Structure 1
Amino acid sequence: MSTLIHRMSRRSFLSGAAAVGGLVVLHPFAARAQANQAHLRIMETTDIHVHVYPYDYYADKPNDTMGLARTASLIDAVRAEAGNSMLVDNGDFLQGNPMGDYIAYERGMKEGDTHPVIAAMNVLGYDVGTLGNHEFNYGLDFMFNVVNGAGFPWVCANLTKGQLASDPKDDELFFKPYVILEKMVKDGAGNESPVKVGFIGFVPPQIMVWDVRHLEGKAQTRDIVEAAKAWVPAMKEEGADIVIALSHSGIDGSGPVERMENASLYLAGVEGIDAVMTGHQHLVFPGPKSWDAIEGVDPVKGTLQGKPAVMGGFWGSHMGLIDLLLEKDGNSWRIADFTTEARPIYERTEDRKIVPLVESKEAVLAAAKDEHEATLEYVRTSVGQTSAPLHSFFALVADDPSVQIVSQAQTWYIKDMLKETEYKDLPVLSAAAPFKAGGRGGPEYFTEVKAGDVAIKNVADLYLYPNTVQAVVITGADVKNWLEMSAGMFNQVEPGATDAPLLNTDFPSYNFDIIDGVTYEIDLSEPMKYDKTGAVINADANRIKNLEFDGKPIDPEQKFVVASNNYRAGGGGNFPGITSEKVVFAAPDTNRDVIVRYIIDQGTINPSADANWHFAPLENTTVVFETGPRAKEYLSDVKGVNIEPAGEGADGFAKYRITL
């Protein structure tokens, strides 16, 4: 196992790598390497989600915060700063914006076609890639057609073709678990010699829940750490000097637990792994102070259990970079020093302006030009009208039109699908959550559709993922627990508090389900009943008050059909009592397709929220939350809650106050 010694601060690296007077300054490792030492840079892209162009297809305008074409310019710069470099992709490149949907649903993939994101990646000369969970959203056949066009190998050690073997090394895998690439490096004396760099890849085991419709009976997944412990020794036996884990899995200190989704911290503890490329969480590491509280994580040095690690944001916002100073040890190499960095493509000024730090690489734009233009035509196609604006600026604090229209479409669809079944007489409720609600996506990450024409780009903006509609049958007691889990969106608030923070920043907005068809209040003075894993942490907690159906208190024993999506109905989000066993209808149609069909059927939709939920009153109590700066235009539309501006928030957000 390589010895890891960190002697250089990240600040000294940044100053050493700066370009002065237009000249590229070599990284200090390259400048000081001795005759038996060599500098090797490992660059990472992750969570590109088809964002080749710096263009927001939902807003239909350029966007300087995204785009592999911009990240490509960082890659060129990094290669110029050191002669020895390698480039990897850490997954989630295939789905995530309308270009991905256009290729999958409209144009298709014929034999010999090259997907635009792969064409762009081929321009950049990747050395190896691994899979993310969203690679499976369009099915296995589509995924294989896409990855077959890549000019580089793919690795994944925990995706099997069938049942798991007793020994992970006996698993029948879809991809090679790892590759060992021989990289010629130039040492400090100018001599060239090979270093064997091994790359092993991992996907979240939860794809078997999230994409069960595509994978059931065809694939299986193994625990990430378990697979690593089996295969990494084999890599060492095969002669790998350095082992790099490509982990499409984030950083979570709550484990280790079996089949952990965000297992990178514990993966770093596997003997023989020298560095970890992470992703999946759409965060930046090394980076914010939010990592400080996790034992074994150093967000300044950029280490997990003492080993270099990086997470390069999302949509091309950053390039992850690990610099290694290698030292010859007999006939092999070891790591003598390292630095880590997540290098951004833009910065935000104090007056909230976005300033691009690089321009697009023209060769990358050219690789996807035809598909980009076809996608623009696709997303601009009108499907109907809306009588009121559709926006999500207040989706986390009040009943909201962007969520309302999703629920209306789901209810319309499921009622029609079940009208000739044994469930036809059960009342239909609908669960939907806001997807674009600021947070990690930034102050512009909100849905905003003006009254008037509704185009496909607007529907894709309302519903970001290609989920399919599913319906479960549950009891009134299950409905209440579903809502109790959703209420984890909010911090507990002491009655009488002034401007208490409202939103629980660790709770993802896509798990904040609003259930339409019932009315209820959320009592913020109560603690959360469930933690993020669905485990009971306060058995007596009762945040959901006055839960009523048809104007009467809900009967805990009454049965309801609840329309939702395959992610939630299959157990995604760990909602108590919501499992695939309770699914009574699994649609072939995506939620987005259903929304489009609903709008076409209605001609003109009325998305006005009906205020079926609100916060329970708390005397002399105020809370604050952040939303996008454009929210002020829609403040008068909000029903059932007393909201007022409260100044500027952090990082370009606007702050608002609610009097409870």
Structure 2
Amino acid sequence: MPDGTGGVELSVRPSADGNETIVLRVLATTDMHMKLLPHDYHADRPCQQGSLAQVASLVERHRRMARNTLLVDNGDFLQGTPLGDHAARSGGRNHPAIAAMNLMGYDAAAIGNHDFAFGLDVLQSAARQARFPLLAANLRVRGRADFPRYAILQRPVVTASGRPATLRIGLVGFLPPQTTAWDRDLAGRMDCDDILATARRVVPQMRAEGADVVIALAHSGISPHPAGPGAENVAADLGALDGIDAIVAGHTHEVFPRKTPVPAEGIDTARGTLRGKPAVMPGFGGSHLGVIELSLTRKGASGWRLDRATAQCEPVGPHLPPAPAVLRAVAPSHRLTLSHLGTRISSSEQRISSYFALVGVDPALTLVNMAQRWFVRKSLRGTALEGMPVLSAAAPFRAGGRGGPLHYTDVAPGPLRLGNLTDIYSFPNRICALPVTGADLRGWLERSASLFNRIQPGRPDQPLADPRFPAYQFDVIEDLHWRVDLSQRAGFSADGTATGSSRIRDLTWRGRPIRDSDRFVLATNSYRLAECGLFAPLTAGKPSVVPPGPQTRDVIRNYLRQRRRVSIDAAPSWRFVSLPGTSVIFETGPGGLPLLPRVAARTNRRMDHVGESDRGFALVRLHL
């Protein structure tokens, strides 16, 4: 096996002398998010941070080395870059991702939750073009044909002794049960069942139909906690089920195996096993290729049995060349996308960036909130809610984290083009608005402030952000002002469990303290209306008070066209409560360091650049 992360061999079942042996190399991608080419559409420049075209070159290397290979994807491949937006505008016809995957010879793919981002029709159009099955065992579509639950591929293989044989490879796909809850339009058209309950029904069926080996393509993360009913991240629990031989995990954009251990029984990050089963989670955006090697044995007329296995993730390095065939296949869509993104819509007097979103200065969020509030105010004219105070909530989508030190919004002053909108607002969410009370607003902000670690007063250089909280859960509500007391425990855990603690202090609107009974309209997005997740208790059952809205990105575009030239005052809506003698460390992209003096002045806090992390982030000390 080539060098990479993990790869320690595990003994599954002892072999006997005289057995025939098949070695099957399973190559896996996940969460590609339309990163087909080594190109950064936000900055409009080439990049070498991973791509499907580069993965294709690595796949070809493995195929030259191994007699028997299988290539699979684990979902979230249709949404994520402007290429996906372009394909969706044409209804998914001639989809560049499917063209590239057909060219690479994918054997199967699971469906992920983001593959529904442009609607069921676009996904089904893409599926009709695929020369491989798109699998979703726990998905039921109402009123039309379901996607296949699983596939059993009859594949000619070559044994270790050079003899031809046939291997029946079972592949089953799972996606998060929350998929329908994350988009209310989907809830009326399909249902998503519990992953583990579905697996307990389906895997025995696959074995009964003759599958020699079963590989679970689980668009689901690896959680150290036992799964309850309807759990989102259950890849580790799948490893405990009889009949499953190997697992491809995904959804959370992590890498597994990896060097960092997880303090949980049954999750071996070094060996790459979940409850003893080989498993991989190969990052996202083509950052890694998962490689599972399965050694199967057969004695006489008995069936094939898994004997040994290895699991590893190979990084897709910057010097790995993209496959020319994939470049050619995607080139027409790439050119049309670049042409569309070059359309000028407005201009900005300021640099629009998200480098300091987690310390209160984020012009990108301010712009999103300005546009959302403008749209909702217009929509409420002539209704019973006209004149009700309108607020707006938005969160940073590109704020580092697992995306790395380049994963920040950064738009230079001057002309604003359509391509800049994908940098400012990455997801195809729709705009919505809800009636809320002052108590709701306080609860909303408590959830957002839970992103921060609890800080001990008087201690230096404590980590500011809790890595378990993604930045897209950090909503800032425009036109309010408040302070966050980091000396207090977070009000909510990462899974949304209330702790009874409170961090929000001095919450005001236009200089007046907010009472729990005060009433507002809050502009937000369709994802926040999900019936699950951190904000669900505040939104569940509440209909949007504006008609089904356009995509938020289109609202921002129309707002900018109407303004023609925009000036953004990114004065902080919130600040940390002062803690004398205390400092915290936070990460930002190196590209934001020239902004540090201005940010320090806007927040009235001392900030110092103190080094770099091993992942290339700039480390900044904030004095509280």
Equivalent in 619, 626, 635 of residue 587 of structure 2: 626
Q: Classify the secondary structure of the residue corresponding to 1:342.
A: strand
What residue is the counterpart of 1:23 in the other structure?
none
1:453 partner letter: P
User: Hey, what does 1:179 align to over in structure 2?
Assistant: 151
**Aligned to 2:288, which of 318, 328, 345?**
318
Q: In structure 1, which of residues 271, 277, 288 is the aligned counterpart of residue 248 of structure 2?
A: 277
Contact kept in structure 2, 1:482 and 1:576, CA below 8 Å: no
Find the counterpart in structure 2 of residue 117 from structure 1.
97
Please point out which of 86, 93, 112 is paired with 1:132.
112
How far apart are residue 581 of structure 1 and its match?
Answer: 1.6
1:7-66 CA distance string (max 9 Å, x none): x998898799xxxxxxxxxxxxxxxx9761111011111111111111010110111012
SS in 1 for 2:67: coil
Query: Which structure 2 residue ranges, 5 or more long, are not aligned?
Result: 10-16
Match of 1:414 in 2: 376
| 1:400 pairs with one of 356, 362, 376 | 362
Q: Which stretch of structure 1 is more off in the superposition, 33-42 or 415-424? A: 33-42
For residues 46 and 102 of structure 2, what CA distance do their matches in structure 1 show?
Answer: 23
2:6 touches 2:257 (CA, 8 Å); kept in 1? no
* 1:209 match: 181
- Cα distance change of structure 1 residues 14 and 590 upon mapping to structure 2, 3 Å threshold: same
The one of 77, 84, 89 equivalent to 2:73 is: 89
Distance between the aligned counterparts of 1:644 and 1:504, measured in 2? 21
CA apart distance, 1:267: 1.7
Structure 1 residue 567 corresponds to structure 2 residue 547: no
* C-alpha spacing 1:13/1:480, structure 2 compared with 1 (3 Å): closer
Matched-pair contact (CA < 8 Å) for 2:222–2:233: yes
User: Residue 396 of structure 1 aligns to a residue in which SS?
Assistant: helix
* Residues 485 and 576, structure 1, Cα contact 8 Å, conserved in 2: no
Out of 625, 645, 656, the position equivalent to 2:609 is 645
Equivalences for 1:470-489 in 2 at 5 Å?
A: 470-489=432-451
Which stretch of structure 1 is more off in the superposition, 499-508 or 570-579? 570-579
Q: CA offsets per residue over residues 374-414 of structure 1, 9 Å max, x none?
A: 11111121110111110111011113101110011101111
CA distance in 2, matches of 1:546, 1:652: 37
Amino acid at match of 1:82: A
Q: Quote the residue 1:593 is aligned against.
A: 554
In the superposition, relative to structure 1, how do residues 229 and 14 fare at CA in structure 2: closer, same or farther (>3 Å)? closer
The residue that corresponds to 2:572 in the other structure is 611
Q: d(CA) in 2 for partners of 1:34 and 1:193?
A: 16
* Amino acid across the alignment from 1:297: I
Kept in 1: contact 2:7–2:310 (CA 8 A): no
Q: Which residue of 2 aligns with 1:544?
A: 504
CA deviations 1:230-260 (Å, max 9, x no partner) are 1111011111111100111111122311111
Contact conserved, 1:492 with 1:526, CA < 8 A, in 2?
yes
Which amino acid counterpart does residue 454 of structure 1 have in structure 2?
L
Q: Which residue of 2 aligns with 1:59?
A: 43
CA contact (8 A) 1:501 1:623 kept: yes
Whether the 8 Å CA contact 2:34–2:78 is kept in 1: the answer is yes
Q: CA deviation at 1:579?
A: 2.2
Structure-2 residue corresponding to 1:221: 192
Partner amino acid for 1:648? E
Amino acid at match of 1:564: T
CA distance in 2, matches of 1:42, 1:595: 43
Q: Equivalent of 1:264, from 195, 213, 235?
A: 235
**Distance (whole Å) between structure 2 residues aligned to residue 67 and residue 284 of structure 1:** 16
Cα deviation code 1:259-298 (max 9, x no counterpart): 1111111122222111111111111111141x52232211
Q: Secondary structure at the match of 1:300?
A: coil
Alignment correspondent of 1:36:
20
Residue 634 of structure 1 aligns with an amino acid whose one-letter code is: L
Cα RMSD (Å): 2.0
Q: 2:570 is paired with a residue of what secondary structure?
A: coil
CA contact (8 A) 2:218 2:249 kept: yes
Matched, 1:189 2:161: yes
Q: TM-score, normalised by structure 2?
A: 0.95
Q: Of 125, 139, 144, which residue of structure 2 is paired with 1:145? A: 125
**Is 1:45–1:320's contact at 8 Å kept on the other side of the alignment?**
yes
- Three-state SS of the structure 2 residue aligned to 1:294 is coil
Q: Secondary structure at the match of 2:358?
A: coil
**For residue 640 of structure 1, what is the amino acid of its counterpart?**
T
- In the other structure, the counterpart of 1:460 is 422
CA contact 2:3–2:314 (8 Å) conserved in 1: no
Give CA-to-partner distance per residue, 1:199-239, whole Å, 9 cap, x none. Answer: 011111111122222x1321111011111111111011111
CA distance in 2, matches of 1:219, 1:205: 11
Task: Report the residue type matching 1:123 in the other structure.
Answer: L
Count matched residues: 613
Structure 1 residue 432 displacement after superposition: 0.5
| Contact in 2 for aligned 1:9/1:301 (Cα 8 Å) | no
Q: CA deviation at 1:577?
A: 2.9
Tell me the SS of whatever aligns to 1:206.
Answer: helix
The equivalent residue for 2:55 is 71
Match of 1:305 in 2: 275
| Aligned-partner Cα distance in 2 for 1:138–1:248 | 18
Q: Relative to 1, partners in 2 of residues 1:334 and 1:308: Cα closer, same or farther, differing over 3 Å?
A: same
Q: In the alignment, what sits opposite 1:252?
A: 223
- How do residues 321-336 of structure 1 correspond to structure 2 at under 5 angstroms? 321-329=291-299, 330-336=301-307
Report sequence identity in percent: 40
TM-score (norm 1): 0.90
Instruction: State how far apart, in whole Å, the 1-side matches of 2:255 and 2:342 are.
Output: 33
Residue correspondence of structure 1 range 102-113 to structure 2 within 5 A: 102-105=86-89, 107-109=90-92, 113=93
Does the Cα contact within 8 Å between 1:571 and 1:578 map onto a contact in 2? no
Q: 1:269 to 1:631 in 2, by over 3 A?
A: same
CA contact (8 A) 1:399 1:613 kept: no
C-alpha distance in structure 2 between counterparts of 1:470 and 1:9, whole Å: 49
Question: How far is 1:633 from its partner?
Answer: 1.4
Shift in CA distance, 278/239, structure 1 to aligned 2, threshold 3 Å: same
**Ranges in structure 1 where 5+ consecutive residues have no aligned partner:** 1-7, 17-32, 164-171, 347-355
- Maintained 8 Å contact 2:7/2:311: no
Counterpart of 2:344 in structure 1 is 382
Q: 1:119 to 1:591 in 2, by over 3 A?
A: same
Separation in 2, partners of 1:10, 1:258: 39
State whether residues 48 and 319 of structure 2, in contact with CA within 8 Å, keep that contact through their aligned partners in structure 1: no
SS at match of 2:94: coil
> Who is 1:243 aligned against?
214
Alpha-carbon distance between aligned partners in 2 of 1:320 and 1:124, rounded to the nearest angstrom: 16
| CA apart distance, 1:189 | 1.5
Q: Is the 8 A contact 1:209 1:572 kept in 2?
A: yes
Which stretch of the first structure deviates more once superposed, 562-571 or 227-236?
562-571
2:315 maps to what in 1? 344
Instruction: Please tell me whether the aligned partners of residues 244 and 273 of structure 1 are also in contact (alpha carbons under 8 angstroms).
Output: yes
Closer/same/farther in 2, CA of residues 516 and 571 from structure 1, 3 Å limit: farther
Stretch moving more, 565-574 or 389-398: 565-574
